[in-house]
Structure 1
Amino acid sequence: MKTPSPTRLHSPVAAGENLPVFRKIALRILPLLVLCYLSAFMDRVNVGFAAVSMRADIGLTATAFGIGSGVFFLSYFLLEIPSNLALAKFGARRWIARIMISWGILSGLTAFVWNGPSFISLRLLLGAAEAGFYPGVLLYLTQWFPEKRRAQILGYFILANPLATIIGAPLSGWLLSIGDFGTLKGWQLMFLVEAVPAVLLGIVTFFYLPDRVTDAGWLSDDEKKQVVAQLQKEEAQTIHRARIDLGHVFTHPSILGLSFIFLTISMTNATVNFWLPQIIKSSGFSTYVTGWISAIPYVAAVGSLLFWGRHSDKTGERRYHILIPMVAAAVCIAVSGFFDAPVVRILGLTVASAGLFAALPIYWSLPGRFLVGNAAAGGIAFINSVGNLGGFIGPSAMGYLKDATGSFGGGLLLDSVALIFGAAVVIAVTFTRTSSELRGDGCVR
Structure 2
Amino acid sequence: MRERAVVNERAVIGKITRYLIPYLGIIYLIAYIDRQNVSYAKLQMVDALGLSEYAYGLGASLFFIGYFLFEVPSNIFLERFGAPRWFARIMLTWGAVTVALAYTQNTTMFYVLRFLLGVCEAGFFPGVLYLLTLWFPHEYRGRMVGSFMVFSAFANAIGAPIGGMLLDLDGYGGHQGWQWVFLVTGIPAMLMGIVTLFYLDGTPETSRILTPEEKRWLAERLANENNRLAKTSHVNPLKVLADGRVLLMSVFYIAFPLGAYGLSYWLPTIVKGFGVSNTVNGWINVIPWLMVALGLYYWPKLAVGARSSTPFIVGPALVGAACLILSVYVPSNTLRFAFLCIAAVAIFVPQPILWSIPSTFLSGASAAAGLAVINSVGNLGGFIAQNVIPWIRDASGSNTVPMLFLAACLAVGGLMTFVVQAVIRRHRVPGAAGTAGLTHPAQ
Paired with 1:137 and 1:171, the residues of 2 have a C-alpha distance of: 26
Alignment deviations for residues 161-216 of structure 1 (CA, whole Å, 9 cap, x no partner): 11101111011111112321122001101110111111111111111100110111
Q: SS at the partner of 2:242?
A: coil
Equivalent AA in structure 2 for residue 54 of structure 1? M
Which moves more between the two structures, 176-185 or 190-199? 176-185
Deviation at 1:413, TM superposition (A): 1.5
Paired with 1:441 and 1:286, the residues of 2 have a C-alpha distance of: 63
Paired with 1:71 and 1:58, the residues of 2 have a C-alpha distance of: 18
Alignment deviations for residues 36-65 of structure 1 (CA, whole Å, 9 cap, x no partner): 000000001110011111111111211111
Equivalent AA in structure 2 for residue 181 of structure 1? Y
Which of 95, 112, 115 aligns to 1:121? It is 112
Question: Is the contact between residue 279 and residue 408 of structure 1 (CA under 8 Å) also seen in structure 2?
Answer: no
- Spell out the pairing of 1:22-421 with structure 2 (5 A cutoff): 22-238=13-229, 240=230, 246=237, 248-315=239-306, 317-339=308-330, 341-405=332-396, 407-421=398-412
Equivalent AA in structure 2 for residue 190 of structure 1? V
Which of 406, 418, 426 aligns to 1:436? It is 426
Equivalent AA in structure 2 for residue 81 of structure 1? V
Question: Is the contact between residue 41 and residue 164 of structure 1 (CA under 8 Å) also seen in structure 2?
Answer: yes
Q: Sort the Cα spacing of 1:243 and 1:227 in 2 relative to 1 into closer, same or farther, 3 A.
A: closer
Equivalent AA in structure 2 for residue 20 of structure 1? A
Equivalent AA in structure 2 for residue 175 of structure 1? L
Question: Is the contact between residue 16 and residue 230 of structure 1 (CA under 8 Å) also seen in structure 2?
Answer: no
Question: Is the contact between residue 233 and residue 364 of structure 2 (CA under 8 Å) also seen in structure 1?
Answer: no
Q: Sort the Cα spacing of 1:405 and 1:438 in 2 relative to 1 into closer, same or farther, 3 A.
A: same
**4+ long deviations beyond 6 Å:** 438-442
Q: Sort the Cα spacing of 1:254 and 1:89 in 2 relative to 1 into closer, same or farther, 3 A.
A: same
Deviation at 1:81, TM superposition (A): 0.3
Q: SS at the partner of 1:249?
A: helix
Paired with 2:137 and 2:113, the residues of 1 have a C-alpha distance of: 39
Deviation at 1:338, TM superposition (A): 3.7
Paired with 2:50 and 2:386, the residues of 1 have a C-alpha distance of: 18
Paired with 2:362 and 2:218, the residues of 1 have a C-alpha distance of: 19
Paired with 1:429 and 1:16, the residues of 2 have a C-alpha distance of: 36
Structure 2 gaps, min length 5? 1-5, 433-443
| TM-score scaled by length of structure 2 | 0.91
Q: Sort the Cα spacing of 1:114 and 1:91 in 2 relative to 1 into closer, same or farther, 3 A.
A: same
Paired with 2:391 and 2:106, the residues of 1 have a C-alpha distance of: 18
Equivalent AA in structure 2 for residue 214 of structure 1? E
Equivalent AA in structure 1 for residue 95 of structure 2? G
Paired with 1:16 and 1:255, the residues of 2 have a C-alpha distance of: 35
Paired with 1:192 and 1:410, the residues of 2 have a C-alpha distance of: 36
Q: Sort the Cα spacing of 1:263 and 1:224 in 2 relative to 1 into closer, same or farther, 3 A.
A: same
Residue-pair matches, total: 426
Which of 11, 27, 31 aligns to 1:20? It is 11
Equivalent AA in structure 2 for residue 236 of structure 1? N
| TM-score scaled by length of structure 1 | 0.91
Which moves more between the two structures, 267-276 or 384-393? 267-276
Paired with 1:85 and 1:411, the residues of 2 have a C-alpha distance of: 37
Which moves more between the two structures, 254-263 or 40-49? 254-263
Alignment deviations for residues 87-140 of structure 1 (CA, whole Å, 9 cap, x no partner): 000000000110011001101111111222221211001000000000001001
Question: Is the contact between residue 66 and residue 397 of structure 1 (CA under 8 Å) also seen in structure 2?
Answer: no
Paired with 1:103 and 1:293, the residues of 2 have a C-alpha distance of: 28
Question: What's the RMSD between the two structures over aligned residues?
Answer: 2.1
Paired with 1:323 and 1:439, the residues of 2 have a C-alpha distance of: 24
Equivalent AA in structure 1 for residue 418 of structure 2? I
Deviation at 1:399, TM superposition (A): 2.4
Paired with 2:58 and 2:71, the residues of 1 have a C-alpha distance of: 20
Q: Sort the Cα spacing of 1:17 and 1:283 in 2 relative to 1 into closer, same or farther, 3 A.
A: farther
Q: Sort the Cα spacing of 1:398 and 1:328 in 2 relative to 1 into closer, same or farther, 3 A.
A: same
**Residue 436 of structure 2 corresponds to which residue in structure 1?**
none
Deviation at 1:435, TM superposition (A): 3.9
Deviation at 1:383, TM superposition (A): 0.4
Paired with 1:325 and 1:178, the residues of 2 have a C-alpha distance of: 39
Equivalent AA in structure 1 for residue 269 of structure 2? Q
Paired with 2:63 and 2:84, the residues of 1 have a C-alpha distance of: 24
Question: Is the contact between residue 262 and residue 383 of structure 1 (CA under 8 Å) also seen in structure 2?
Answer: yes
Deviation at 1:233, TM superposition (A): 1.2
Paired with 1:441 and 1:34, the residues of 2 have a C-alpha distance of: 40
Q: Sort the Cα spacing of 1:70 and 1:23 in 2 relative to 1 into closer, same or farther, 3 A.
A: same
